[in-house]
Amino acid sequence: MRTIRVLAPLLLAASLVAPVQAHAEEATWTGPLSTRGRWIVDAHGDRFKLKSGNWHGASGTYNGSGDVNDPANHHAGEKADQVPLGLGRTTLATIISGFQEIGVNSVRLPFSNQMIRDTTPVTGLKDARLNGKRPLEVYDAVVAELTRNNLAVILNNHTTTSRWCCGVDGNERWNTSQSTDQWIADWVFMADRYKADKRVVGADLYNEVRRTVWDDPNWGWGNDHDWHKASQQAANRLQQVAPDLLVIVEGINWTGIPADGFPHGRPTLEPARFLSHTIANPGKLVYSAHFYGYTGPNHSGATGIGETTDPRYQDLSPQELTDVLQRQAFFITEAQKHFTAPLWISEFGVGGIDESNQKARAWFERFVDQLIEQDTDFAYWPLVGFHTNRSGNSWALLRWDAAGNRISVNDGDDWRASAWNRLVNASGRTGQIPRETRWNMLLEESCPQSEKLAGVSHTGNRGLCVSGPQWSGTTRVTNERHVTTDWARGYTKLQCPHGDAAVGYANSTLVCAPIAGGSTTRVVWFDRGDNRPDLGGDWANGHYKGQCAQDEHVAGVAYNWRRTPDALLCRK
């Protein structure tokens, strides 16, 4: 979610062309959605590109000062009452018709944890049937109407308390104002609530994870601030409750103190290059990132107090912007890596008719060009806003005044129209997406049940999984009872039974499943350096790695007295 102005050091971020209709193939898509490599596909395996927008409001618009009921104390005067914005100015059907008119096929629908529990009846909405309902019930009605109109819905836990994002406001982490257990419990509640609707396609776990006054979030430290750990836990729990949902993990939005001379920056998805997620059904993982021109790779977006001398994204040259975007997020779509997944830019945007900053305008054009060139899934921020006599906050693509009069990005005086329509109408990959080899990091004792073990690191407790036959029953091997030859003299050897392949390894325990035969073996030593094909990416950065070839399977692991793995028995 964008901020208009940042006043505190730690407050962080978010030509006339004819309107377009959703393409016919998008209007007839079939849920649920899954992933194949870097692509999102529908139930038939056809590419479904998320051409999305954000419909905010249920996550809160209150700025946190003054009277909560006074519109002046809400973002840009856009008082939403914890329901999707605009329902007090026009009908639900009218708003959704506008979405279809401008070409989106999906909606990121933010909510707050506070909204889930608020029992205060909502009044003043244009749809009489919605008045008197509590906010969650209005959210229900919005979800149902969106999906009835063939739009995919991505549930987004945007904030914990119903406040405008994104500063030092109690919403910095998933567990700043509540426990991780409560956060996961709320997600279970929401996933279970909508799981029967196969056009509710995704769970976007948390928005713009960032620093509190004193503490940074991290990716992989194993503590209470570890976003990788928390999102992994939430993903695994959600897959038990609603296995059809895409699980969407956003990168870290900010760490460090935004002041010259202090370490600070926007990690985004960079940590995933060396520590990615492996969920129970890997074909449901999507990564996301946010980019706005007024922020930067080391710029919080502040103006005045808290502003640093770091360049904003809109200050970068075209080549610098391309390089930064690739480093921070777009690398996720590289093929045949442990981190390979669809990338969804779930927030980007810029001011419309009142945007006079030429750098901001040029950045938006260049960013749209990047999305088109990379054929990247996207969600514009925001879809809906307010206006008064065609003035006011102009970021929204569709705006309504108090009398219900609408202005649109396509009305003829909005400079963004050309770029927007170029984006939603851009050619890209369509049709059937073939299945491809999937690589994942071994993060628990066993690989996902559709994968087998491919490699192990000498130190660091890392492993690599690769696509394999489906398995269920396993044998846990902790001694040499299945060893038939002394293939690693002087080392303790763990070996799978004949006909089994390794599907996991942890704590000197080899996990085997009856999924492979073969009789040809070789020994791969990795105690003094890497010994592996260049497949799967750097899945154990800084550690020696051993890995079998793609047409082989791991049949055994040998370790020394320090219990560090030193050799693999590869078989085919």
Same domain membership, residue 463 and residue 408: no
User: pLDDT digit string (tens) for 114-140?
Assistant: 999 999 999 999 999 999 999 999 999
Q: Record the pTM.
A: 0.94
Residue 25 falls within a domain, yes or no?
no
pLDDT at 168: 87
pLDDT for the residue 28 = 80
Task: Check whether 4 has a pLDDT greater than 90.
Answer: no
Are 392 and 530 in the same domain? no
Secondary structure in 3-state letters for 286-318: EEEEECCCCCECCECCCCCCCCCCCCCHHHCCH
Domain count within the chain: 2
Confirm whether 263 is domain-assigned: yes
What is the pLDDT confidence band of residue 167, given thresholds at 50, 70 and 90?
confident
List, for residues 228-282, the tens digit of each pLDDT value: 999 999 999 999 999 999 999 999 999 999 999 999 999 999 999 999 999 999 9
Q: Which of the listed residues 399, 425, 451 is the one where a domain comes to its end?
A: 425
**Averaged pLDDT for residues 383-412:** 96
Q: Which domain holds residue 466?
A: 439-571
Which of the listed residues 425, 452, 470 is the one where a domain comes to its end?
425
The DSSP annotation for 369-421 comes to HHHHHHT-EEEES-SEEE-BTTBS---SSEEE-TT--EEETTSSS-TTHHHHH
Mean pLDDT value of segment 87-107: 98
Judgement on whether residues 163 and 266 belong to the same structural domain of the protein: yes
DSSP string, 224-245: TTBHHHHHHHHHHHHHHH-TTS
Same domain, 378 and 483: no
Question: What would the pLDDT profile of 451-507 be if each residue is shown by its tens digit?
Answer: 999 999 999 999 999 999 999 999 999 999 999 999 999 999 999 999 999 999 999
- Those residues with Cβ within 8 angstroms of residue 268's Cβ, 6 or more apart along the chain or in another chain: 251, 252, 253, 289, 328, 329
Q: Which amino acid is at 246?
A: L
CATH number at residue 362: 3.20.20.80
Q: Is 125 left (phi over 0), alpha (psi -120 to 50) or beta?
A: beta
Average pLDDT, whole number, for the chain?
94
Domain shared by 388 and 414, yes or no: yes
User: Do 492 and 418 lie in a common domain?
Assistant: no
Nearest to 506 by CA among 563, 440, 560: 563
264 and 349, same structural domain?
Answer: yes
Check whether residue 413 and residue 486 sit in a common domain: no
Query: Do 478 and 369 share a structural domain?
Result: no
The answer to which of 16-20, 353-357, 379-383, 458-462 has the lowest mean pLDDT is 16-20
Tell me: do 237 and 353 sit in the same domain: yes
CA distance 514 to 505: 16
Inter-residue contact 324 to 45 (CB < 8 Å)? no
- 7 assigned to some structural domain: no
**Dist. CA 495–CA 488, nearest whole Å:** 11
Residue 541 lies in a domain: yes
CB count in 10 Å sphere of residue 21: 11
- Position 3 in a domain: no
The predicted-structure confidence for 34-93, as pLDDT tens digits, reads as follows: 999 999 999 999 999 999 999 999 999 999 889 999 999 999 999 999 999 999 999 999
Q: Averaged over 2-12, what is the pLDDT?
A: 36
Q: Residue 143: enclosing H or E segment and its boundaries?
A: helix 135-148
482 and 378 in a single domain? The answer is no
Q: What is the pLDDT of residue 517?
A: 85
**Is residue 348 located within the same domain as residue 492?**
no
Identify the domain boundary among 394, 425, 456.
425
Does residue 466 lie in a domain region? yes
* Secondary structure class of 325 (helix, strand, coil): helix
In a domain, residue 379? The reply is yes
> What are the backbone angles phi and psi of residue 407, rounded to the nearest 5°?
-125, 150
In a domain, 453, yes or no: yes
User: Quick check: 15 pLDDT over 60?
Assistant: no
